[in-house]
Amino acid sequence: MNKNITVLSGDGIGPEIVAEAIKVMDRVCEKYGHTFHYTYVDIGGCSIDKYGVPITEEGMAKCKASDSVLLGAVGGPKWDSCPPNIRPEKALLAVRKELGLFANLRPTKLFPQLADSSPLKKEIVGGGIDLLIVRELTGGVYFGPKKTEEVNGELVATDIMPYSEHEIERIGRVAFETAMKRGKRLASVDKANVLDTSRLWRKTMHRLAEEYPEVTCTDILVDNTAMQLIKNPTQFDVLVTENMFGDILSDEASMLTGSIGMMPSASLSEGTLGMYEPIHGSAPDIAGMNIANPLGTILSAAMMLRYSFDMAAEADAIENAVNLVLDAGYRTGDIMQEGCTKVTCSDMGDLVTERI
């Protein structure tokens, strides 16, 4: 099978971790008889330095023309003084919007080998953590109208949080279908005691629930969700929520595993096109030092094979290889434990590749 992949390495450690993911994907091609063609596009700060914009129109066109997109990370202090309309992060919002990437899947899985890395007590996470947050990605307050104006002699900032019924239904169906493939338990997260958008959200989710009688769907307020993720994360299977709530909760959930370097994510369109990326940032303080953890990016590549290319066996092979490397006691600095062997970013990529 031939696939065209647009590679957005980005800034900081982005090029290093993406290189290891591609190394692993090339090994998959060798073993399973596929061919992946890579097109590299600048995004974020490196694009601002070269072209004055966080992503060019030509670069965006290449993303749209591909079968899928692999992203490293963007941004860094160097570009903090850029005008808001050309900050590195603007490119991510633009790609999500232009590619119609409305559904963000953020798995939180605590590998048993890393149980000691979790900040939670073993009696809480001893049985492991395996939950998935489904986040709406192209609506809500991040994309709504915003302005700052002077009113009665002082500045007043306004951000509007719009959601239409079809946007909620679209992400809801993704969540229900995902729950059907997992434990058939779905928690719908909102703030219906305060927000009109959340009341529409809840009404729409209740209507959808009638179409999925096998799924146990419960409502939970976002503040309670934040507490329950710390108190008892194992109670959750699939959570679905709007853009801002999902942004915050998925970052909170990622820390339950002890390192954000382990966490992949997928952003999906209504078709098969998706963008896959680790959830961590560009970490400019360690860029170029070959010490970053590439496993989140490697696992993101596995999600690409699974969700965009329908290559379940190949995705399983990558995930199993990561498990074997951890079993063997190899660790990058962020997940280093007593008695384990510390390795570099490129070493970790080699170790995973060897086990596919």
pTM of the model: 0.87
Q: Give me the pLDDT at residue 118, please.
A: 83
Q: Look at 117-121, 141-145, 153-157, 205-209 and tell me which has the smallest mean pLDDT.
A: 117-121
Mean pLDDT for 244-249 is: 96
Q: Is residue 96 within 8 Å of 33, Cβ to Cβ?
A: no
The values of phi and psi at residue 160, to 5°, are -100, 140
Mean pLDDT for 99-109 is: 94
Burial class (CB in 10 A: 0-12, 13-18, 19+), 58: exposed
Tokens of 209: 């629930």
Kindly report the length of the chain.
356
Residue 286 has pLDDT above 80, yes or no: yes
What percent of the chain lies above the pLDDT cut of 70? 100
Residues 6 or more apart whose Cβ sits within 8 Å of residue 207:
169
CA distance 122 to 112: 11
22 vs 1, higher pLDDT: 22
203, 230, 212, 226: which is closest to 175 by C-alpha?
212
Q: Give me the pLDDT at residue 120, please.
A: 85
Mean pLDDT for 309-338 is: 94
* CATH class of the domain comprising 1-118+260-356: alpha beta
Residues marked active site are found at: 142, 191, 223, 247, 251
Mean pLDDT for 299-306 is: 96
Residue ranges covered by each domain of the chain: 1-118+260-356, 121-257
Fold of 121-257: Isopropylmalate Dehydrogenase (3.40.718)
On the question of a common fold for 1-118+260-356 and 121-257, the answer reads: yes
Residue 31 has pLDDT above 90, yes or no: yes
At 219, is the secondary structure helix, strand, or coil?
A: strand
What is the separation, in whole angstroms, between the first and last Cα of the chain? 18
Q: Give me the pLDDT at residue 109, please.
A: 87
Residue 154 corresponds to which amino acid? Answer: E
Q: Binning pLDDT at 50, 70 and 90, where does residue 285 land?
A: very high
Residue 194 has pLDDT above 90, yes or no: yes
Mean pLDDT for 336-349 is: 95
Residue 128 has pLDDT above 80, yes or no: no
Average pLDDT, the chain: 94
Q: Give me the pLDDT at residue 107, please.
A: 93
Q: Give me the pLDDT at residue 259, please.
A: 80
